[in-house]
Amino acid sequence: MTTIILSPDLEERLTEEARQRGTTPELLALESLRQLFSPVGDQMTGGAILCDLLAGHIGTVNGTTEALSEDCGRRFAEGLAEQQRQGQW
């Protein structure tokens, strides 16, 4: 465990910021140090989870209710055969 002695002005600023955030000076100092010294991967994402990163891109799409993933191999083969019959292939 390491003890850090703060100057009075820095201690006052830390205490005031912690009060505004509704936390303790100790927890605010720990959070700030963790952010400062986090691994590079966490810095790129800001510690966000995948859902947070994709929040603006996740949604629903209007489309067919047909289950397009069922029998896809058979339907693909039928589509190729149809193209071949029409001379497109």
Six token digits for residue 80: 């190729």
Q: Is the dihedral of CA 24, 26, 27, 33 positive or negative?
A: positive
pTM of the entire structure?
Answer: 0.44
Sketch the domain layout of the chain as residue ranges.
Answer: 8-85
- pLDDT tens for the chain, residues 1 to 89: 889 999 999 999 999 999 999 999 999 999 999 888 877 655 555 667 777 777 777 776 677 788 878 888 998 999 999 999 998 76
Measure the CA–CA gap between 38 and 26, rounded to whole angstroms: 18
